[in-house]
């Protein structure tokens, strides 16, 4: 009876979190009008259909001339896909942990209601898993075309599809378990979240570029054959791990994860910078932390690889920085409607944004001087910044606590679709021009709506 009441209370809290979090997604800003929602949905659908067609076409070319894929290749592909899902689970946890925050009103309301701290803590963890699964399902749609290369029957594909979800839950819950256990070592929530985000990020890079290849090679060399029995056995083991991790999480009485944190730090304006767009980024703690993390990874690559290839790897790592464009809307949301009073027109704001975009891209430009083939990455970086900043304007954090998560997610998906579709410098330049025009239209629309 007591346990059933516990689950009932947790369900009520989770339902309250969902209602309070998602109610403001479509209420204000760019998505307020039906036409804008239709155009955005149509744009996503068009890019995905084109992306799916290109991937299926490439898979058909790769498989042409062969009757079937050999068992070793199937084992390697299944192992590689599973490892990618595991990496994705860590990245999604980082996105949720870094971008999602419950507003103070929601937390005040829930803590005034007759719920125990344990119920609130468990409900917050359950809500994070639900949010993570929503993000995973969206990202999985982007990854689906790669499954066409795996030679499995319909039944085996179904089992593998279910297993990928369980693998994701294992990775996500494991990260949550580490985060909860760290409370007994690091009591400060701010220090804990920043420290673990850095550790998880470094581990993800290590796993992505080194460890997963070792695992894939081991799976093939060990002679594992992918069939219905092996997939069911693998799924059973993963389910047991999920049960064990969940049991430990339910019995950990860590602190309530309030998700309230300061976004900005005081940086004196000694140089009298008039570009408020630049200041909105370089005063953001998230931007500074991510920039520090990227610089650390780049230096580690240079020390370990000691070759020109390290520069190319570092450029790909640095492409994470332009995604911080989503922070712009959060920085100036409260005073955007007053910009016109300071003689800051839409065009002037647009040019200030592009100047900031160029400043952020300077490290890639310097790297391109060493290797001219990387010049196209400058255009990619500029395009990614435009996309992420546009998504930040469409999903302003102030209207819904989940909007920053959505803007990050949509920026990643759009960038993946654009990069996968475009394989020509001229088309990259065209994508930059189109993304700039779309950004200008969104700025005009935001000015009209507000």
Nearest-CA neighbor of 383 among 437, 311, 339? Answer: 437
In this prediction, residue 264 carries a pLDDT of 47
What is the rounded average pLDDT of the residues 17-30? 64
Residue 320 or residue 262, greater confidence: 320
In a shared domain, residues 256 and 274: no
- Residue 268 within a domain: yes
Whether the pLDDT of residue 344 is over 80: the answer is no
List pLDDT tens digits, range 233-270.
Answer: 988 999 999 999 988 888 775 555 554 444 545 555 55
Range name among 56-60, 199-203, 234-238, 279-283 with the lowest pLDDT average: 56-60
List pLDDT tens digits, range 139-193.
Answer: 777 777 666 667 777 788 888 888 888 999 999 999 888 888 887 777 676 777 7
Residue where a domain stops, chosen among 260, 291, 313: 260
What is the rounded average pLDDT of the residues 71-79? 82
In a shared domain, residues 304 and 428: yes
- Structurally, the chain folds into a number of domains equal to 2
Whether the pLDDT of residue 436 is over 80: the answer is yes
- Give CA 74 to chain center in angstroms: 28
- Residue 26 within a domain: no
Residue 131 or residue 38, greater confidence: 131
In this prediction, residue 96 carries a pLDDT of 81
**Of 119-128, 164-173, 261-270, 332-341, highest mean pLDDT:** 164-173
- Residue 13 within a domain: no
What is the rounded average pLDDT of the residues 314-318? 75
C-alpha 222/C-alpha 196 separation (Å) is 34
What is the rounded average pLDDT of the residues 58-78? 67
**Of 39-48, 155-164, 168-177, 388-397, highest mean pLDDT:** 168-177
In this prediction, residue 169 carries a pLDDT of 92
In a shared domain, residues 200 and 270: no
In a shared domain, residues 267 and 401: yes
- Residue 443 within a domain: yes
- Residue 84 within a domain: yes
In this prediction, residue 239 carries a pLDDT of 92
In a shared domain, residues 53 and 80: no
Q: Does the pTM exceed 0.85?
A: no
In a shared domain, residues 278 and 238: no
Range name among 26-30, 107-111, 395-399 with the lowest pLDDT average: 26-30
Burial string for 289-318 (b: 16+ CB within 10 Å, else e) reads ebbebbeebbebbeeeeeeeebbbbbbebb
- Residue 139 within a domain: yes
In a shared domain, residues 116 and 152: yes
- State the chain's mean pLDDT as an integer: 75
In this prediction, residue 443 carries a pLDDT of 83
In a shared domain, residues 276 and 190: no
Which residues span the domain enclosing 111?
A: 71-260
Q: Name, in order, each residue with C-beta under 8 angstroms of 255's C-beta and a sequence gap of 6 or more.
A: 121, 183, 187, 189
Residue 432's Cβ-count burial label (10 Å; 0-12, 13-18, 19+) is buried
In a shared domain, residues 228 and 340: no
In a shared domain, residues 215 and 340: no
Give the pLDDT band of residue 31 (cuts 50, 70, 90). low
Residue where a domain stops, chosen among 229, 260, 291: 260
**Of 3-7, 131-135, 231-235, 445-449, highest mean pLDDT:** 231-235
In a shared domain, residues 201 and 318: no
- Entry field: residues in the chain: 450
Tokens of 14: 């989770």
- Residue 15 within a domain: no
Nearest-CA neighbor of 180 among 198, 162, 161, 193? Answer: 193
C-alpha 245/C-alpha 410 separation (Å) is 30
List pLDDT tens digits, range 94-117.
Answer: 878 776 666 666 666 777 777 777
In a shared domain, residues 380 and 274: yes
- Residue 6 within a domain: no
In this prediction, residue 260 carries a pLDDT of 45
In this prediction, residue 399 carries a pLDDT of 64
What is the rounded average pLDDT of the residues 195-204? 81
Percent of the chain with pLDDT over 90: 4
């Amino acid at each position: 009876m007591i346990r059933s009441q516990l689950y009932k209370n947790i369900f009520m809290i989770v339902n309250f979190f969902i209602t309070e979090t998602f109610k403001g997604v479509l209420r204000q800003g760019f998505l307020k009008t039906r036409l804008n929602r239709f155009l955005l949905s149509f744009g996503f659908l068009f890019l995905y259909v084109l992306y799916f067609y290109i991937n299926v076409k490439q898979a058909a070319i790769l498989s042409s001339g062969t009757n079937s894929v050999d068992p070793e290749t199937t084992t390697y592909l299944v192992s590689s896909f599973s490892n990618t899902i595991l990496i994705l689970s860590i990245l999604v946890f980082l996105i949720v942990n870094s971008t999602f925050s419950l507003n103070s009103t929601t937390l005040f309301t829930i803590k005034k209601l007759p719920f125990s701290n344990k119920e609130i803590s468990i409900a917050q963890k359950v809500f994070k898993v639900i949010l993570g699964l929503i993000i995973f399902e969206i990202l999985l749609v982007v990854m689906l075309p790669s499954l066409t290369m795996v030679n499995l029957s319909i039944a085996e594909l179904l089992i593998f599809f279910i297993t990928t979800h369980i693998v994701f839950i294992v990775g996500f819950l494991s990260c949550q378990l580490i985060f909860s256990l760290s409370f007994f070592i690091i009591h400060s929530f701010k220090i804990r979240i920043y420290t673990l985000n850095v550790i998880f990020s470094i581990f993800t890079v290590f796993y992505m570029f080194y460890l997963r290849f070792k695992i894939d090679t081991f799976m093939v060399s060990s002679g594992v054959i992918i069939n219905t029995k092996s997939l069911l056995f693998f799924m059973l083991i993963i389910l047991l791990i999920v049960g064990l991790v969940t049991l430990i999480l339910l019995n950990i009485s860590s602190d309530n994860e309030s998700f309230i944190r300061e976004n900005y730090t005081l940086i004196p304006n000694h140089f009298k910078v008039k570009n408020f767009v630049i200041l909105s980024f370089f005063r953001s703690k998230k931007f500074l932390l991510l920039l520090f993390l990227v610089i650390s990874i780049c230096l580690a690559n240079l020390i370990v690889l000691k070759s020109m290839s390290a520069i190319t790897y570092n450029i790909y790592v640095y492409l994470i920085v332009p995604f911080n464009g989503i922070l712009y809307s959060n920085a100036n949301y409260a005073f955007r409607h007053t910009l016109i009073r300071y003689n800051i027109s839409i065009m002037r704001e647009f040019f200030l944004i592009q100047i900031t975009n160029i400043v952020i891209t300077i490290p890639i430009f310097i790297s391109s001087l060493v290797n001219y083939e990387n010049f196209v990455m400058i255009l990619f970086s500029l395009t990614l910044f435009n996309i992420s900043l546009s998504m930040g304007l469409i999903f302003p954090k102030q209207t819904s606590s989940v909007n920053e998560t959505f803007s990050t997610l949509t920026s990643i998906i759009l960038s993946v679709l654009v990069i996968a579709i475009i394989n020509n410098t001229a088309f990259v330049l065209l994508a930059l021009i189109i993304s700039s025009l779309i950004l200008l239209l969104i700025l005009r629309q935001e000015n009209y709506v507000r």
